Structure 1
Amino acid sequence: MIKPMTIIAAAASVAVACLTFSSAAHAGAVLDRVLATKTLTVATSIGWPPSSFMNDKGELDGFDVEVAKGIAKQLGVDVKFVTPEWNLVTSGKWAGRWDLTMGQMVPTEERAKKFGFPGMYIYTGTVALVHKDSKATKLSDLDGKRIGVVAGTTNESYANHTLEVFGQPPIQYHFTPGEVKSYEGTPSPYDDLRLGDGVRLDGAITDETQARDIIKAGFPLKIVGEPFAYSPGGIAILHGDKEFSDKLGAAIKSLKDDGALAKLSIKWFGTDYTAAE
């Protein structure tokens, strides 16, 4: 068994450290806008069940969506969702179109230059997926293989061996892909992987919660070995509004303290992923 790598355990240290970076934004500007409009605009995804997805009623639903609604309630405002591509979210070029992102963003060194992380709300393992007919039984079996990842994610950085996590030692890599294929939108790497072992991909990297949901949905895939990293997922905002950051941090703390966050995790994932490993 590979010993899980705990990337970050203390959300508070990440939030405080990230605030040391410079920013062109004015302190209080975002919070003032949110309170004035009585609306918190949140960037999330429509295709990432069970965290955020369109339900049978054509409404956004899922763990991240409900957490965002809980935060808005703590702030005393309504919530509005937008669904930009993840690459646009991670570029930091928000131009005031949304106030924060609920995408379980991992605080990497590069991202910490652009974003603050007021609170970590989920900790999940990263896993490798292969087709059920694959002969791979351990991570090293994926050396030299074609690996699919979602563009702009830490999984893409991991596959390319370029991942640096804020304030943490160098990452340990457990396999070296021969080719990394990055996907935006549809088809996803899992759509291509389900076509057969080696047809378009030999494997894919994703978080454990999504991997289990994909398999549960009927995709003919399986997880190889054990999770090889435990990553924190947090709220991300642009630097420059400490008051807004503090309010969001307090909201997440309140949801944790009263047990609401754990209940949402159990509701959507079947277990509590809201505490650091």
Structure 2
Amino acid sequence: MTFWNRPQLTLAAMALALGAYPAHAGAVLDRVLAAGTLKVATDANWAPQSFVNSSNELDGFDVDVAKAIGKHLGVKVEFITPGWDIITAGHWAGRWDMHAGSMTPTKKRAEIFDFPAVYYYTPAAVAVHKDSKAKTLADLDGKVVGATSTSTFEAYAKKDLTLDAAGAPPFEYKLNPKEVRSYENSTTAFDDLRLGDGVRLDAVVSSLPSILDAEKAGYPIKQLGDPVFYEPLAIAIERGDPELSAKIGDAVKAMKEDGTLSKLSEKWYRQDYSKTN
């Protein structure tokens, strides 16, 4: 999911003020344009959305999307990789300006964040060890399931998921685990699952692209059944800067219209997840 690192006296004082209080209209955008840099929080351990490549650089779909947004804004992009729970807690205090890390725009999160644009839609699925004897999701009843902490995947496993964003299709709960274990990200959950069927986990709920990428990377896991739900995923900023929200929204709209998002999705997923059909 995401890595963290989620000028002179007058400008320094301004920076402190921005960090100490909620963003005022235009304040974050002004800071971004003045610095020529958009600070973006994302996950460094959630391939293929975002990960550290062989050149020790952040790479992936979310990373490319953030860079494209920066290009539209006319600024360079600097990535920070905090933990998911830190990002979703809010109170960013100027440490980063935008989150490009596949966040689901729910009403609860909208109390803290603005969502300038949904940029793709992804299926969530269940992974089991390749030696698992489970044939259907019902075979996981009473088992131990892992998921990223505070994620929609964890909420689904706990039967506490609310997908109230526009464009989110209905879903049904098909898991009845005896325990849901929380992890920092999907990769650490897959690391436990790879140890063997039922050794630490019986299954992991994650995004289907992440499951397929882990399988491709040699993890002894496999998808079980069909996707359990589909979710719209959005760029997030802290509430209070409609100018920044509008700029990002315009950038994503342009990327949809000129085919940039479709091309990036095909590059990383071999499918166009930027559209619902």
What are the ranges of 5 or more consecutive residues in structure 2 without an aligned counterpart?
Answer: 1-20
**How far apart are the structure 1 equivalents of 2:52 and 2:210?**
15
Partner-residue secondary structure (3-state), 1:244: helix
Deviation, 1:165, is 2.2
Residue equivalent to 2:204: 204
- Aligned counterparts of 1:138 and 1:194: Cα–Cα separation in 2: 19
- Kept in 2: contact 1:164–1:171 (CA 8 A): no
In the superposition, the TM-score normalised over structure 1's length comes to 0.88
Kept in 1, the 8 Å contact 2:147–2:153? The answer is yes
Tell me which moved more, 155-164 or 83-92. Answer: 155-164
Task: Report Cα offsets for 1:59-95 as digits up to 9, x if no partner.
Answer: 1111111110100000001110000001100001211
Q: Indicate if the aligned counterparts of 2:190 and 2:204 stay in contact, CA closer than 8 A.
A: yes
State the partner residue of 2:105. Answer: 107
Q: Aligned partners of 1:109, 1:224: CA distance in 2, in Å? A: 30
Match of 1:124 among 122, 125, 149: 122
Q: Give the deviation of 1:24 after TM superposition.
A: 3.9
Q: Deviations over 1:195-235 (max 9, x none)?
A: 11100000000001111101111111111110111111110
Residues of 2 paired with 1:159 and 1:109: CA distance? Answer: 20
Structure 1 stretches lacking a partner, 5+ long: 1-22
Report what 1:161 is aligned to.
159
C-alpha displacement of 1:186: 9.1
Which 4+ stretches in 1 moved above 4 angstroms? 167-171
1:19 maps to what in 2?
none
Are 2:148 and 2:186, in contact at CA under 8 Å, matched by a contact in 1? no
Match of 1:214 in 2: 214
TM-score, length-normalised on structure 2?
Answer: 0.88
Deviations 1:114-159 (A, max 9, x none): 1111111111101000011111121122221100111121111111
* Partner SS state of residue 245, structure 1: helix
Which residue does 2:7 correspond to in 1? none
Structure 1 counterpart of 2:236: 236
Q: Cα deviation per residue 1:16-41 (whole Å; 9 max; x = unaligned)?
A: xxxxxxx9431111111111111100
Residue aligned with 2:110, SS: helix
Give the aligned residue type for 1:264: L
Q: Give the equivalent residue in structure 2 for 1:14.
A: none
Match of 2:141 in 1: 143
Alignment match, 2:85: 87
Q: For residues 162 and 170 of structure 1, do their structure 2 counterparts lie closer, same or farther at Cα, with a shift above 3 Å needed?
A: farther
Q: Which one has more relative contact order, counting CA pairs under 8 Å at least 6 apart? A: 1
The equivalent of 1:7 in structure 2 is none
Number of aligned pairs? Answer: 255
